[in-house]
Amino acid sequence: MSQGPGGTERARIAILISGRGSNMVALAEAVRDGRIPNAEIAIVISDQANAAGLVKARELGLETLIIERRGRPRAEHDGEVVAALRARHIDLVCLAGYMRVLSSGFIEAYPGRILNIHPSLLPSFPGLNAQQQALDHGAESSGCTVHFVDETLDGGPIIAQRVVPLYDNDTVESLSARILVEEHRLYAEAVSAVLNELQET
């Protein structure tokens, strides 16, 4: 935690991205607008040097850091990420389109403090192309999930979910766009709720 104006404690959030970064922007805007109170985005880290989200983060005035895998073992790459988080006294880690499964060392460094967002109602449709999976299964609805991260792919305890209907004429693009609107709302609400819990303990 760091001291905000008036001496309030502010939770320091790190956001990890690999690509577009729209959930990162949604979280940053929620912090800015007070929908995630008593918090700040302390760092945006990308494992991809050309992630579009890095440009958006810099435009928002956020500190950015690129930590590429460069062919190293997962634990070594994660070790560098954890060192960067510790150096910045991070309280909460939000994965936002971060395309890596975390090593046990990373998860043990931040127990109960790593969140992810996934574009389906987990445990349905984990992994890649969740929206296409929902279409392929002829599901009547799908949605999005914010969950705690463990060593399984999209498998940790669920924090919050939102249902999104599927329509007959849906394409992967139309469904993804409809889910994304809800992702942006849900992630901010879930982060706010988790910080509230952490700040009370």
> Hey, which residues are catalytic here?
118
| Least gap, CB of 37 to ligand GRF (angstroms) | 22
| Least gap, CB of 96 to ligand GRF (angstroms) | 5
**Cα angle value 133/156/141 (rounded, 5°):** 30
Look up residue 193 and give its two tokens.
């709720």
Q: Which is nearer to ligand GRF, 23 or 192 (CB)?
A: 23
**Interaction with ligand GRF in 171-200: which residues (CB under 6 A)?**
183
- Residue 186 CA from chain centroid, whole number: 11
Residue 56 in contact with ligand GRF, rule: CB under 6 A: no
Strand partners, 132: none
Nearest to 141 by CA among 120, 110, 126, 115: 120
Stretch that binds ligand GRF, among 75-83, 112-120, 132-140, 155-163 (CB under 6 A): 112-120
Torsion angle of C-alpha atoms 93, 96, 100, 103, degrees rounded to 10: 10
Residue 117 in contact with ligand GRF, rule: CB under 6 A: yes
Residue numbers of the site for ligand GRF (CB under 6 A)?
A: 17, 19-23, 53, 96-97, 117-119, 183
